[in-house]
C-alpha cells in the first residue's frame, strides 16, 4: 500500500472555454475559438464548436455536487477573460455573479477552487490588435488579472496565470492547431515572450494588491529523452529541452532565461522585441508553486539535413519514434508513467524543490460507449490502470523528497477538446451531449473515490 501525504490535493481540472458553454450569452464577448468556428466550422471534429460546451454555466451546481460525491477536495478551472471583461475594460456583473456562485458552491462542499486566468482563450478584440504579438497584450492581461484578484480574491487562495503557455505559442504560430494558425518561428518566439511578460505582470499585480494565498503557473513539462548519448543526439535533446521545458520553467522559477535558450534564439535570428527593465521584472516575479501537466514524453534525435538558421523547431531536433513505446491509439500519445518520476526529481534537484502538483494527467479515448455495461456505466479499466501507474511513479518521487502536494485528473466530466470536439473523452463522468449534457459516472470515478478516501493506492 502506498499512502500519500496528509492534506494531499485530490481533484480534477478543466477550463472555461471547454466546459462553460453559453459562449454567446450574458455579455460574454467572442474569443478566437468562437470566431474561428464561425469562419471555418469544417476544421472542428463533427463541426462541434465552442458555443455549447458541457453546459457548466448552467449546470455547475450539479457538477459540484458530483465532485462532493466523489470526495474531491479541489478543482481547477479558469475564468473566461472575454466573459469577465468583454471589452477588456468594462466589468460584466453577470460574469462576476456566475463565478462567485460557482466558486462559493465549491467551497461549501469542501472543494477548493484553484483558479487559472488564461487557457488558450484569447479575446477577439485583442486578437484583432495582434493578440500576444503586441506588447499591449501584457498590460491588458495585467489589468484583467488585477480585476480577477479583486473580485474573487476572498474565495480563491491558489491562483495560476496561464495553462501550458508553450501550447498556444506552438499551436497558434507553428503547428496550426490554434488561431491564427500561422507558421512563423520568429513570431512564435515573440508570442512566447509577451506571454511570459503577461505572466510577470499578473504576478506583479498579485503581490502589489497584497492578496492572500499563492500564485503559480501551469506548465506542461514534457520531459525530453534523446535517442542516444551521441553528441548530435545530445545537442538535439538540449535544444528540445531549452525550447519546450526551460523556456518558461527557468524564468518563472529561477527568475532568468537559460543561457542555452538565449544562445539558440540568437544563433537562429529569433530574438524577440523586449523593453528596458524586462530582465529585472522577470527576476522579481518568481512563483510560489507550479502546476505540472503531464501526458507524454518527447523523444528526439539529431536532424540529418537541418535548415540553418532554423525555420522550424524540427530544424533543431527531430522526432524519434521509440520502438518500445506504448501508445494510446486514440490520441496518438505515448504512455510513459516513469516520466512523472523524472519530472518530480528534476524539480527537486534543479529547481529548489519548489512546491508543485500534477495539474493535469489523463487519457482521452474515443467511442467510450463501446465499454458501457448494462447499467450504463462505462468500464474504463484502461483509465484506472493509467492513473494507477502514474500515481505509483509519483508516490515513489514523493517518498524520495519531491515536494508534490496534489494530483488532478484531466478531467472531471467529459469536455470539449478544441479542434477535436468531443471525439476523445477524458472524464470521470460521461457527458451525453445529445441528451441535455447528462452526466453518468464511469467506473474510474468509483475507483478514484476509494483512492481519495484512503489517501492510498495498492
Ligand atoms: C492539455 C490542455 C487541455 C486538454 C488536454 C487534453 O494540453 O491543457 O485543455 O485539452 O490537454 O488534450 P486534448 O484535448 O487535445 O486531447
Q: Is the dihedral of CA 307, 312, 315, 318 positive or negative?
A: negative
Q: CA 260 to CA 247: how far, in whole Å?
A: 10
Q: For atom 15 of ligand 1, which residue has the closest CA?
A: 417
Which numbered atom of ligand 1 lies nearest the CA of 364? 16
Among 397, 407, 389, 293, CA closest to 336: 389
Q: How far apart are CA 297 and CA 312, in angstroms?
A: 20
> Cα separations (Å) of 97 from 29, 117, 133, 237, 406?
17, 17, 32, 48, 29
The residue whose CB lies within 8 Å of the most ligand 1 atoms, and thus the one to mutate among 120, 410, 422, 424, is 410
pLDDT of residue 192: 99
Average pLDDT over every residue of 236-248: 98
The DSSP letter of residue 250 is I
Q: Which atom of ligand 1 is nearest to the CA of 120?
A: 9
Place of cell 505572466: 199
Using pLDDT thresholds of 50, 70 and 90, give the confidence band for residue 253. very high
C-alpha cell at position 335: 504512455
Q: For residue 423, what pLDDT is reported? A: 98
Cα separation of the two ends of the chain: 5
pLDDT confidence band for 302 (50 / 70 / 90): very high
Return the CATH number at 29. Answer: 3.20.20.80
Number of H helices, E strands in the chain: 16, 19
Per residue in 312-346, pLDDT tens? 999 999 999 999 999 999 999 999 999 999 999 99
Half-sphere exposure of 141 (CA within 13 A, CB side): 29
CB 442 within 8 A of CB 378: yes
CA of 417, closest atom in ligand 1: 14
Supply the range of the domain harboring residue 411: 2-457
Environment class of residue 109 by beta-carbon count within 10 Å: exposed (0-12), middle (13-18) or buried (19+)?
A: middle
| 417-451 pLDDT, tens digit each | 999 999 999 999 999 999 999 999 999 999 999 99
The per-residue pLDDT for 170 is: 98
DSSP string for 101-154: HHHHHHHHTT-EEEEEEESS--BHHHHTTTGGGSTHHHHHHHHHHHHHHHHHTT
360 catalytic per annotation: yes
Average pLDDT over residues 95-111: 98
pLDDT of residue 303: 97
Q: How far apart are CA 240 and CA 445, in angstroms?
A: 36
Q: Which residue has the cell 478566437?
A: 32
Ligand 1 centroid to Cα of residue 411, in Å, is 9
119 HSE (CA, 13 A, CB side): 23
Q: Which residue has the cell 488561431?
A: 179
- 181-198: b (≥16 Cβ within 10 Å) or e: beeebbbbbbbbbbbbbb
- Evaluated on CA atoms 348, 352, 357, 358, the torsion sign reads negative
Going by pLDDT thresholds of 50, 70 and 90, the confidence category of residue 262 is very high
Tell me which of 164, 170, 238, 368 is the catalytic residue: 164
Q: Which three cell numbers stand for residue 412?
A: 472531471
Instruction: Give residue 327's pLDDT.
Output: 98
Order of strands across the sheet that contains 298-301: 224-226, 298-301, 318-319
Tally of domains within the chain: 1
Distance from C-alpha of 311 to C-alpha of 308, rounded to nearest angstrom = 7
Q: Can you give the pLDDT at residue 427?
A: 98
In the three-class reduction of DSSP (H, G, I as helix; E, B as strand; rest coil), residue 257 is classed as coil
Which pLDDT band, with edges at 50, 70 and 90, does 285 fall under?
very high
Task: Indicate the SS3 state at residue 267.
Answer: helix
Percent of the chain with pLDDT over 90: 100
| pLDDT for the residue numbered 23 | 94
The separation between CA 111 and the C-alpha centre of its own chain, rounded to angstroms, equals: 20
Residue from 161, 248, 418, 425 to probe ligand 1 pocket by mutation (most atoms less than 8 Å from CB):
418
How would residue 286 be classed by pLDDT, with cut points 50, 70 and 90? very high
B/e letters for 346-371, b = 16+ CB within 10 Å, e = fewer, are: bbbeebeebbbbbbbbbbbbeebeeb
Q: For residues 205 and 323, give the distance between their C-alpha atoms in angstroms, rounded to a whole number.
A: 48
Residue with CA closest to ligand 1 atom 10: 417
pLDDT of residue 370: 98
- For residue 308, the CA-to-ligand 1 centroid distance in Å is 32
CA angle 395, 161, 246 (to 5 degrees): 60
Cell of 177: 492547431
What is the average pLDDT value for the chain, to the nearest integer? 98
pTM: 0.98
164 is annotated as an active-site residue = yes
Residue nearest to atom 13 of ligand 1 (CA): 417
Burial (CB < 10 A; 0-12, 13-18, 19+), residue 236, is buried
Output the nine-digit C-alpha cell for 324: 518500445
Distance 373 CA to ligand 1 centre (A): 27
CA-426 nearest atom, ligand 1:
6
**pLDDT grade for 135, boundaries at 50, 70 and 90:** very high
Burial class (CB in 10 A: 0-12, 13-18, 19+), 455: middle
List pocket residues of ligand 1, CB cut-off 6 Å. Answer: 15, 18, 163-164, 167, 220, 293, 331, 360, 364, 410, 417-418, 420, 424
CA-CA distance, 15 to 23, in Å (whole number)?
Answer: 13
- Give the distance (Å) from ligand 1 centre to CA of residue 417: 6
Amino acid at each position: 500500500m502506498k499512502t500519500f501525504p496528509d492534506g494531499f490535493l485530490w481533484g480534477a481540472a478543466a477550463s472555461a472555454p471547454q466546459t462553460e458553454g453559453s459562449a454567446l450569452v450574458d455579455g460574454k464577448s467572442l474569443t478566437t475559438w468562437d470566431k474561428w468556428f464561425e469562419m471555418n466550422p469544417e476544421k472542428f471534429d463533427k463541426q462541434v464548436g465552442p458555443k455549447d460546451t458541457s453546459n457548466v454555466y448552467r449546470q455547475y451546481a450539479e457538477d459540484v455536487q458530483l465532485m462532493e460525491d466523489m470526495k474531491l477536495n479541489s478543482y481547477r478551472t479558469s475564468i473566461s477573460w472575454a466573459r469577465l471583461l468583454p471589452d477588456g475594460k468594462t466589468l460584466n456583473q453577470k460574469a462576476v455573479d456566475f463565478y462567485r456562485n460557482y466558486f462559493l458552491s465549491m467551497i461549501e462542499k469542501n472543494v477548493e477552487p484553484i483558479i487559472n486566468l488564461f487557457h488558450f482563450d484569447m479575446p477577439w478584440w485583442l486578437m484583432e490588435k495582434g493578440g500576444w504579438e503586441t506588447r499591449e497584450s501584457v498590460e491588458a492581461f495585467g489589468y484583467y488579472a488585477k480585476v480577477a484578484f479583486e473580485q474573487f480574491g476572498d474565495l480563491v487562495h491558489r491562483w495560476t496565470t496561464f495553462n501550458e503557455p508553450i501550447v498556444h505559442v506552438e499551436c497558434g504560430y507553428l503547428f496550426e492547431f490554434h488561431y491564427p494558425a500561422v507558421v512563423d518561428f520568429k513570431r512564435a518566439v515573440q508570442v512566447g515572450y509577451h506571454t511570459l511578460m503577461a505572466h510577470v505582470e499578473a504576478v506583479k499585480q498579485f503581490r502589489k494588491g497584497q492578496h492572500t494565498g499563492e500564485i503559480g503557473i501551469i506548465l506542461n513539462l514534457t520531459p525530453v529523452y534523446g535517442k542516444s548519448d551521441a553528441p548530435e543526439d545530445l545537442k538535439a535533446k538540449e535544444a528540445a529541452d531549452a525550447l519546450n521545458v526551460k523556456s518558461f520553467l527557468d524564468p518563472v522559477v529561477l527568475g532568468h532565461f537559460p543561457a542555452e535558450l538565449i544562445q539558440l534564439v540568437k544563433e537562429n535570428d529569433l530574438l524577440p522585441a523586449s523593453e528596458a527593465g524586462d530582465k529585472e521584472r522577470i527576476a522579481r516575479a518568481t512563483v510560489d508553486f507550479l502546476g505540472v501537466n503531464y501526458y507524454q514524453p518527447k523523444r528526439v534525435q539529431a536532424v540529418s539535413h537541418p535548415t540553418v538558421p532554423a525555420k522550424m523547431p524540427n530544424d533543431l531536433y527531430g522526432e524519434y519514434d521509440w520502438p518500445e513505446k506504448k501508445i494510446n491509439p486514440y490520441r496518438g500519445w505515448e504512455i510513459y508513467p516513469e516520466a512523472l518520476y523524472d519530472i518530480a526529481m528534476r524539480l527537486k534537484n534543479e529547481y529548489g524543490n519548489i512546491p508543485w502538483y500534477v495539474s493535469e494527467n489523463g487519457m482521452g479515448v474515443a467511442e467510450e460507449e463501446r465499454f458501457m455495461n448494462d447499467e450504463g456505466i462505462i468500464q474504463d479499466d484502461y483509465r484506472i490502470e493509467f492513473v494507477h501507474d502514474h500515481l505509483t511513479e509519483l508516490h515513489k518521487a514523493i517518498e524520495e523528497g519531491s515536494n508534490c502536494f496534489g494530483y488532478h485528473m484531466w478531467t472531471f466530466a467529459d469536455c470539449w477538446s478544441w479542434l477535436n470536439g468531443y471525439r476523445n473523452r477524458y472524464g470521470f463522468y460521461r457527458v451525453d451531449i445529445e441528451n441535455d449534457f447528462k452526466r453518468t459516472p464511469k467506473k474510474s470515478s468509483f475507483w478514484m473515490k476509494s483512492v481519495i478516501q484512503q489517501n492510498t493506492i495498492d
